[in-house]
Amino acid sequence: MPEIKVTPLGAGQDVGRSCILVSIAGKNVMLDCGMHMGYNDDRRFPDFSYITQNGRLTDFLDCVIISHFHLDHCGALPYFSEMVGYDGPIYMTHPTKAICPILLEDYRKITVDKKGETNFFTSQMIKDCMKKVVAVHLHQTVQVNDPFKILFCFSAAWIDKCRPDLLISESTYATTIRDSKRCRERDFLKKVHETVERGGKVLIPVFALGRAQELCILLETFWERMNLKAPIYFSTGLTEKANHYYKLFITWTNQKIRKTFVQRNMFEFKHIKAFDRAFADNPGPMVVFATPGMLHAGQSLQIFRKWAGNEKNMVIMPGYCVQGTVGHKILSGQRKLEMEGRQILEVKMQVEYMSFSAHADAKGIMQLIRQAEPRNVLLVHGEAKKMEFLKQKIEQEFHVNCYMPANGETTTIFTNPSIPVDISLGLLKRETAIGLLPDVKKPKLMHGTLIMKDNSFRLVSPEQALKELGLAEHQLRFTCRVHIQDLRKEHETVLRVYNHLKAVLKDYSVQHLPDGSITVESILIQATAHSEDQGTKVLLVSWTYQDEELGSYLTSLLKKGLPQSTS
């Protein structure tokens, strides 16, 4: 039985370094090739030795597919392709291909230049790696090799009930149902607006990509809508480059941005300008987006130190902060911070927390499953305990199998493959013309010959099959003798049988031939006197195998004997 084997190399019952190995139809595919943010040792990359122990990566893998540009989905790519060694195709969408190298380069800089690590991939490796990438359009089907195709989609809704064999879903928020996005956005905007109106400054520490752009758009539209004048600044040159790509990929964005694109490109920010270090001391209200997002170093921390003393100002943390960072400290309510050089910073500014995250919540995942109607579900990229809950819910609600393999653990899923068979149009028409109209609910029996040749299946009429195969036709006939006690003459017996059959089989054509035999459709019945006992007549019934049903019915009918009353 055909099967799909799934082995997570990363992200199995874990968040980060998404990397899943799938063997399907004899091909091996790797989905995602991410890194883990939480580790600085070998554990940050997926364990490729699982594959390499059997030989080279390129020999084993048919292709790699990257879902999106977040580092936990593509961060290990240069390591994987250049340092471990893989030369096969890597598929990703155009925006991913554009933005991914920027992020990789940034990541490399932080690790190598700032932390001084060695044995890490170089800029050249990133470039080389990108050369192996094949960019794909949305909704474009790519034929990787013969039976195997890939198709990128935004959402499951695009394929109306595609009913896949297996649905692999992330499950970061497996146990969370969130409030509406609009509520969160309104809260955020209200806070920013109030502070700016008071004349305060707002600091929003962000990571360079993704959420930052989302917030920019949000503020930009709000400024436009409310006709506000306070300046908004965005730090770091990296983001400018990324914004440039965002501008180019308008069709990939949400309805709002696409709608307004007719008037202007939302990413051509009107109100958001590049930040200069000197601006931080300017009087009056302003909003500044600064990196990094957890206030642990860099520009965001510098600005924070400058503004922390004034209670009119505000800092908004739009995401999660790791323990030990300044961000985490202030979020947990610490008002006095010890900075480097023993100085104490008193935090008087307001501290707010907003959760903006792109992950789907439990409800979203359930909805996806309902729409796609998969036969199996596999959960990755989430904590084991939370997955357990969701798994139980999925099985309970949809009655489908749900799996949650750990890293390195292989899950095998058996599938019922659909086998396409070609049927000749003539045969189809002929067969559907017989009997009732096709009905969805009832299976229909049809006669034909299945020819399996050159890896293809064809259903053709028997005559054509014989012709193609160069065979002569053989007829298979069943004959059966039925003894009847009848004292009359043979032809009288025949007549009685004929009348009887005519009366019983109203729907069939029963004929009495001049040579003394009876035909029912194509079944032949002949009567002879028994050689020994003249009182016993022998009825010879003969039919071809196609008429098996009718033939056997007829014999059983005759065996019951003829009705007495006819005489």
Partner 1 sequence: MAAHLKKRVYEEFTKVVQQQHEDLSAKKLRLTKPSKSAALHVDLCKATSPADALQYLLQFARKPVEVESVEGVVRILLEHYYKENDASVRLKIASLLGLLSKTAGFSPDCIMDDAINALQNEKSHQVLAQLLDTLLVIGTKLTENPSVRMRLVEVACKHLTDSSHGVRNKCLQLIGCLGPVEKGVAKEAESQSAKDVQKIIGDHFNDQDPRVRTAAIKAMLQLHERGLKLQQTIYCQACKLLADDYEQVRSAAVQLIWVLSQLYPESIVPIPSSNEEIRLVDDAFGKICHMVSDGSWVVRVQAAKLLGSMQQVSSHFLEQTLDKKLMSDLRRKRTAHERAKELYSSGEFSSGRKWGDDAPKEEIDTGAVNLIESGACGAFVHGLEDEMYEVRIAAVEALCMLAQSSPSFAEKCLDFLVDMFNDEIEEVRLQSIHTMRKISNNITLREDQLDTVLAVLEDSSRDIREALHELLCCTNVSTKEGIHLALVELLKNLTKYPTDRESIWKCLKFLGSRHPTLVLPLVPELLSTHPFFDTPEPDMDDPAYIAVLVLIFNAAKSCPTMPALFSDHTFRHYAYLRDSLSHLVPPLRLPGRKLVSSPVSTSITPNEDPSQQFLHQSLERVYNLQHLDPQGVQELLEFTIRDLQRLGELQSELAGMADFTATYLQCQLLLIKALQEKLWNVAAPLYLKQNALASAAAKQILEETYKMEFMYSGVEGRQVVIIHHMRLQAKALQLIVTARTTRGAEPLFGMCEKFLQEVDSFQRCFISELPHMQGSFVDKLLDLMPRLVTSKPSEVVKILQTTLRQSTFLHLPLPEQLHRATATIIEPTGESDNPLRFTSGLVVALDVDATLEHVQDPQGTVKVQVLYPDGQAQLIHPKPADFRNPGPGRHRLITQVYLSHTAWTEPCQIEVRLLLAYNSNRSKASAKIPKCTWSDSMEALPQSENGIEGTIPFSKPVKVYIMPKPARR
Distance of closest approach, residue 364 Cβ to partner 1, in angstroms: 10
CB nearer to partner 1: pick between 333 and 514: 333
Distance of closest approach, residue 180 Cβ to partner 1, in angstroms: 5
Using CB under 8 A as the binding rule, whether residue 254 contacts partner 1 is answered as yes
Between 265 and 304, how does the x/- string for binding to partner 1 read (CB under 8 A)?
A: ----------------------------------------
| H/E run at residue 60 | helix 57-60
Q: How far is residue 501's CA from residue 510's CA, in Å, rounded to a whole number?
A: 7
Q: How far is residue 150's CA from residue 548's CA, in Å, rounded to a whole number?
A: 48
Using CB under 8 A as the binding rule, whether residue 438 contacts partner 1 is answered as yes
SS3 of 274, please?
strand
Do residues 387 and 174 make contact, with C-beta atoms less than 8 angstroms apart?
A: yes
Q: Which is catalytic among the residues 3, 105, 117, 170?
A: 170
Among 6, 63, 66, 156, binds partner 1 (CB under 8 A): 156
Do residues 232 and 223 make contact, with C-beta atoms less than 8 angstroms apart?
A: yes
CB nearer to partner 1: pick between 334 and 410: 334
Among 344, 419, 440, 445, binds partner 1 (CB under 8 A): 440
Distance of closest approach, residue 366 Cβ to partner 1, in angstroms: 4
- The label of the residue with tokens 């202007």 reads 264
Between residue 315 and residue 374, which ones bind partner 1 under the rule CB under 8 A?
Answer: 317, 331-333, 350-353, 362-363, 366-367, 370-371
Distance of closest approach, residue 385 Cβ to partner 1, in angstroms: 9
Q: How far is residue 16's CA from residue 172's CA, in Å, rounded to a whole number?
A: 10
Q: How far is residue 377's CA from residue 6's CA, in Å, rounded to a whole number?
A: 11
Among 49, 251, 392, 556, binds partner 1 (CB under 8 A): 392
Distance of closest approach, residue 405 Cβ to partner 1, in angstroms: 22
CB nearer to partner 1: pick between 276 and 311: 311
Distance of closest approach, residue 173 Cβ to partner 1, in angstroms: 9
| H/E run at residue 430 | helix 425-433
Strands (E), 314-400: 314-317, 336-338, 344-346, 350-353, 376-380
Query: How many residues form the binding site for partner 1 (CB under 8 A)?
Result: 55
CB nearer to partner 1: pick between 262 and 437: 437
Residue 320 to residues 35, 62, 205, 248, 394: CA-CA distances in angstroms? Answer: 18, 37, 11, 29, 28
Choices 157-165, 337-345, 534-542, 546-554 (CB under 8 A): range interacting with partner 1:
157-165
Calculate helix-pair angle for 211-226, 181-198, nearest 10 degrees. 60
Do residues 80 and 33 make contact, with C-beta atoms less than 8 angstroms apart?
A: yes
Do residues 422 and 25 make contact, with C-beta atoms less than 8 angstroms apart?
A: no
**Segments in 231-323 forming alpha helices (H):** 237-248, 255-260, 298-307
Between 506 and 535, how does the x/- string for binding to partner 1 read (CB under 8 A)?
A: ------------------------------
Between residue 172 and residue 231, which ones bind partner 1 under the rule CB under 8 A?
Answer: 175-187, 189-190, 193, 221, 224-227
Give the pair of three-digit tokens for residue 421. Answer: 């068979």
Do residues 365 and 172 make contact, with C-beta atoms less than 8 angstroms apart?
A: no
* Positive/negative CA dihedral, 67, 73, 76, 78: positive
CB nearer to partner 1: pick between 24 and 174: 174
Using CB under 8 A as the binding rule, whether residue 432 contacts partner 1 is answered as yes
Distance of closest approach, residue 182 Cβ to partner 1, in angstroms: 6
Using CB under 8 A as the binding rule, whether residue 111 contacts partner 1 is answered as no
Q: How far is residue 125's CA from residue 117's CA, in Å, rounded to a whole number?
A: 16
CB nearer to partner 1: pick between 120 and 353: 353
* Positive/negative CA dihedral, 299, 303, 308, 312: negative
Between residue 48 and residue 107, which ones bind partner 1 under the rule CB under 8 A?
Answer: none
SS3 of 510, please?
strand
CB nearer to partner 1: pick between 279 and 353: 353
What number of other Cβ atoms are within 10 A of residue 382's Cβ? Answer: 25
Choices 250-258, 298-306, 494-502, 542-550 (CB under 8 A): range interacting with partner 1:
250-258
Tell me the one-letter amino acid at 302. Q
CB nearer to partner 1: pick between 225 and 336: 225
Do residues 6 and 166 make contact, with C-beta atoms less than 8 angstroms apart?
A: yes
Distance of closest approach, residue 220 Cβ to partner 1, in angstroms: 11
Distance of closest approach, residue 47 Cβ to partner 1, in angstroms: 29
Do residues 450 and 459 make contact, with C-beta atoms less than 8 angstroms apart?
A: yes
CB nearer to partner 1: pick between 64 and 228: 228
Between 221 and 240, how does the x/- string for binding to partner 1 read (CB under 8 A)?
A: x--xxxx-------------
What number of other Cβ atoms are within 10 A of residue 224's Cβ? Answer: 14
Among 114, 259, 335, 481, binds partner 1 (CB under 8 A): 259
Distance of closest approach, residue 253 Cβ to partner 1, in angstroms: 12
Using CB under 8 A as the binding rule, whether residue 439 contacts partner 1 is answered as yes
Choices 5-13, 112-120, 432-440, 538-546 (CB under 8 A): range interacting with partner 1:
432-440
Nearest-10 Cα torsion for 95, 98, 102, 104: 80
Give the pair of three-digit tokens for residue 233. Answer: 């600044």
Among 53, 255, 418, 564, binds partner 1 (CB under 8 A): 255
Please indicate whether residue 395 is annotated as part of the active site: no
Q: Using the 8-state DSSP alphabet, how is residue 98 labeled?
A: H
Q: Strands across the sheet with 456-460, in order?
A: 422-423, 456-460, 449-453
CB nearer to partner 1: pick between 24 and 192: 192
Question: Annotated catalytic sites, by residue?
Answer: 170
Q: Which residues are at the interface with partner 1 (CB under 8 A)? A: 156-157, 160-161, 175-187, 189-190, 193, 221, 224-227, 254-256, 259, 317, 331-333, 350-353, 362-363, 366-367, 370-371, 386, 389-390, 392-393, 397, 432, 437-441
